[in-house]
Amino acid sequence: MATTKWWQQAVVYQVYPRSFQDSNGDGIGDLPGITSRLDYIKKLGADVIWLNPIYRSPGVDNGYDISDYYDINPEFGTMADFDQLLAQAHQRGLKIMMDIVVNHSSDQNKWFIESAKSQDNPYSDYYIWRDPVDGHAPTNWGSFFSGSAWTYVPARGQYYLHAFAVEQPDLNWENPKLRQAVYDMMNFWVDKGVDGFRLDVINLISKPTKFVDGQPNPGEPYADIGPIIANGHRLSEFLQEMHAKVLAGHDLMTVGETPSATIKDAQQSAGLTTNELNMVFEFEHMNLDGNPAPELGKWNDQPVDLVDLKQSLSKWQTGLQGTAWNSLYWNNHDQPRIVSRFGSDEPKDRVVAAKMLATMLHGLQGTPYIYEGEELGMTNAHFTKLSDYQDLESLNAYHHLVDEEHRVSATQMLAYLAHMSRDNARTPMQWDASLNAGFSTAKPWLQVNANYPKINAQQTLASDASIFSYYQHLIKLRHTLPVMTTGTYQLLDANDASVYAYLRTSDTDQLLVICNFTATDQIRDYDQLPATAKLLLGNYADDQGAALRPYEAKIYQF
Ligand code: ISL
Ligand code: CA
């Protein structure tokens, strides 16, 4: 690699503002709350904070439905609170990355309110409108959040497209005026001094030239819209235009969220020389434990197959080597908690399992992302009733699969939600053992995980052997040991279904990362490990060589 860019050596900490820290006792996290916790993030050692959307929004999809891109959601505070957060972060050497949602807006955005009024007003073409076909929707495309991706508006006599909720109409990127409006808005935030952007479902912005029916899943009326609209023929052109009009000349960090992107797509969108984005979030490793029945999509409660996981991550490691850049993540606000999902949240295993998963991920090439609470080993919520959930994807899926289609029993679906619902990630941050986990003095908008008296930041920070301090070590290694950033990757023993081992190699150094993914002892010898190798980090107090204990993880350097 030529010169390392700052964002290639950085570690990102994701804050879900609604669930991080409430400062005014209304049960909802807010900007002053985040500001009050900056020292905690600094202590962890992260470089960049990714904030989920904080703009004005009716909150149908927790802020991913933006009604005013130039204003702050009053639930989170004011623009002055934002300016304060940015200044305080910068004072501590922390950068702020904004989440920008420009595949769609809210139906309450003034652009859409105007657009829906008539076929000839200045905003008419800001969204994707089509005439009915034989009295019904133009295509059989089904939204990510269940149901048709089309909704009819009598005032226009037309349908509009929404890849997500009815209240999230897709913006029309074919319209140069809309594109300019997006760039102007991004420049407003650049001028404020933000340090980067996470671009929500950015690979969905270029729609197909012709709208034709897709192949529906067995027994379903709708075809998944994702593959139909992902990675459209003008995506690259739009991203290069965005680069020229917003990003060029600033040293920003950009990451595109790109469901169903392939290596080839990522080499373009996150190419080192393509002038598009710095990196993308790929989804393959997050989709491996989906249901074998396609009509059930992600809803499942089965563990992942380690051989599949290794194969997928390895493909991305070697596939982007030298041409693009990986983002490394286990968790975010859309994914269940990794320690519950790919590790174990049994009290006897949770701490070692969380550290093992951290080792495996942070040892890879790419920019690591930590989602709030991951550094505490926060677990899934283990909700038992439908009324415990708030997330519209979860509620819509339950309604569709249980009530409408009778595809799964209520009990089965509750087990799926407990395993996979996005709300598992969204329960409030667990700060201490006091009421509501120190998140709020009022009843939180979403229940606190019942295990907060045992799993919380205060308890964790008191111990040198904590998951938090383990993450501190990993971050320090990333900052001080170039091979962590630049080293090439080589998988060992691809078919080993219990242990994930790989090498990282630079001109001067080599690392061997060994991770036992099981709750049982394993014996592994690696020829690649010289007797002189030094143990850099491990999640047990001592090293027993080839004998690996449950969820044991180690990094050797030589
Ligand atoms: O959440 C998912 C997994 O079931 C995905 O389908 C998700 O909807 C997709 O990755 C897009 O996510 C992003 O855009 C959505 C928003 O709800 C998510 O929170 C956001 O990360 C629509 O804006
Ligand atoms: Ca609040």
Dihedral class, residue 181 (left if φ above 0, else alpha if ψ from -120 to 50, else beta): alpha
Strand 196-199 versus strand 327-328 pairing type: unpaired
**Rounded average pLDDT over 154-176:** 98
Query: Phi then psi for 257, rounded to 5 degrees?
Result: -85, 120
Task: Report the alpha-carbon distance of residue 379 to residue 397 in Å, rounded.
Answer: 22
Distance 24 CA to ligand 2 centre (A): 5
Cα 472 from Cα 460, distance rounded (Å): 12
Rounded to the nearest whole angstrom, what is the distance from the C-alpha of residue 349 to the centroid of ligand 2?
Answer: 35
Instruction: Give the CA count within 13 Å in the CB-facing half-sphere of 425.
Output: 24
Instruction: Please report which confidence band the pLDDT of residue 2 belongs to, taking 50, 70 and 90 as the band edges.
Output: low
Q: How far apart are CA 392 and CA 146, in angstroms?
A: 10
Beta bridge partners of 556: 512, 535
pLDDT of the residue at 294: 87
Whole-number Å distance between alpha carbons of 54 and 255: 18
Contact 330, 286 (CB under 8 A): no
Told to judge if 200 belongs to the known catalytic residues of this protein, a careful annotator would answer: yes
- Closest Cα to atom 2, ligand 1: which residue? 334
Q: Where are the alpha helices (DSSP H) in 21-146?
A: 31-36, 38-44, 79-91, 110-115
Confidence band (pLDDT; 50, 70, 90) for 24?
A: very high
User: Ligand 1, closest atom to CA 163?
Assistant: 22
Q: Determine which helix (DSSP H) or strand (DSSP E) holds 279, and give its type and residue range.
A: strand 279-281
Q: Closest-lying ligand to the alpha carbon of 439?
A: 2
Q: Which two tokens stand for residue 52?
A: 């989920």
Cα of 259 vs centre of ligand 1, distance in Å, is 9
Give long-range contacts, CB 8 A cutoff, 24+ apart: 389-392: 389/417, 389/421, 389/423, 390/423, 390/426, 390/445, 390/446, 391/62, 391/421, 391/422, 391/423, 391/426, 392/60, 392/61, 392/145, 392/165
How many degrees, rounded to 5, is the angle at CA 440 between CA 434 and CA 443?
100
Does the beta carbon of 383 sit less than 6 angstroms from any atom of ligand 1? no
527 is catalytic: no
Question: How remote is the CA of residue 145 from the centroid of ligand 1, in Å?
Answer: 9
Ligand 1 pocket test, candidate residues 98, 334, 391, 401, most atoms within 8 A of CB: 334
User: What Å distances lie between residue 156 and 118, 127, 138, 152, CA to CA?
Assistant: 5, 12, 15, 9
Catalytic-labelled residue, pool 257, 284, 375, 552: 257
**Whether 20 contacts 31, CB under 8 Å:** no
For residues 351 and 551, what is the distance between their CA atoms, to the nearest angstrom?
A: 9
Q: Does 356 sit in the ligand 1 pocket, CB within 6 Å?
A: no
Q: How far apart are CA 515 and CA 526, in angstroms?
A: 13
The string of DSSP letters for 38-55 reads HHHHHHHT-SEEEEPP-E
Q: CA–CA separation, 34 vs 299, rounded Å?
A: 32
Where does 6-104+176-382+427-471 sit in CATH, by number?
3.20.20.80
Domain 487-557 has CATH 2.60.40.1180: yes
Q: What is the mean pLDDT of the chain?
A: 97
**Is residue 259 in contact with ligand 1, taking CB distance under 6 Å?**
yes
Alpha carbon of 556 to ligand 1 centroid (Å): 37
pLDDT in tens, 286-342: 999 999 998 899 999 999 999 999 999 999 999 999 999 999 999 999 999 999 999
- The answer to whether the CB of 224 is under 6 A from ligand 1 is no
Separation of alpha carbons 156 and 169, rounded Å: 15
Q: Is the pLDDT of residue 426 over 70?
A: yes
Q: Whose CA is nearest to atom 1 of ligand 1?
A: 334
Ligand 1: residue whose CA is nearest its atom 19: 334
Structure tokens at 462: 């008191």
pTM, to two decimals: 0.97
pLDDT value for 218: 82
The pLDDT assigned to 511 comes to: 98
Instruction: State the DSSP H helix or E strand holding residue 289, giving kind and residue range, or none if neither.
Output: none
Would you kindly state where each structural domain of the chain is located, as residue ranges?
6-104+176-382+427-471, 110-161, 487-557
Atom number of ligand 1 nearest to Cα 165 = 22
DSSP 155-206: TTTEEEE-SS-TT-PBB-TT-HHHHHHHHHHHHHHHHHT--EEEETTGGGSS
Q: Is 426 in the pocket of ligand 1 (CB under 6 A)?
A: no
**So what's the pLDDT on residue 50?**
98
Q: Give residue-wise pLDDT tens across range 229-279.
A: 999 999 999 999 999 999 999 999 999 999 999 999 999 999 999 999 999
ipTM of the complex, rounded to two decimals: 0.96
101 lines ligand 1 (CB under 6 A): yes
Query: How many other CB atoms are found less than 10 A from the CB of residue 305?
Result: 12
- Which pair of structure tokens corresponds to residue 467? 């998951």
The amino acid occupying position 164 is F
Measure the CA dihedral 87/280/288/140, to 10°.
110
Pairing mode, strands 48-51 and 95-100: parallel
Residue 159's DSSP bridge partners are: 130, 152
Q: Is 298 a pocket residue for ligand 1 (Cβ < 6 Å)?
A: yes
Is the beta carbon of 99 within 6 A of some atom in ligand 1?
no
- Nearest-ligand number for the alpha carbon of 77: 2
- Measured in residues, the chain has a length of 558
Q: Is the CB of 377 under 6 A from ligand 1?
A: no
Q: Pick from 365, 370, 369: which is nearest to 503 by CA?
A: 365
- Measured between alpha carbons, how far is 32 from 29 in angstroms, rounded to an integer? 9
Q: From the CA of 425, which ligand is nearest? A: 1
pLDDT for 431 beyond 70: yes
170 Cα: distance to centroid of ligand 1 (angstroms): 14
Task: Report the pLDDT averaged over residues 69-91.
Answer: 98
Assigned token pair, 115: 């657009």
- Say which CATH superfamily domain 110-161 falls into: Oligo-1,6-glucosidase; Domain 2 (3.90.400.10)
Asked if 548 and 356 touch (Cβ cutoff 8 Å), the reply is: no
Q: Which of 30, 47, 200, 552 is catalytic?
A: 200
Query: What digits encode the pLDDT tens for the residues 456-489?
Result: 999 999 998 999 999 999 999 999 999 999 999 9
Residue 1 pLDDT > 70: no
Give CA–CA dist 492/529, Å, rounded.
Answer: 12
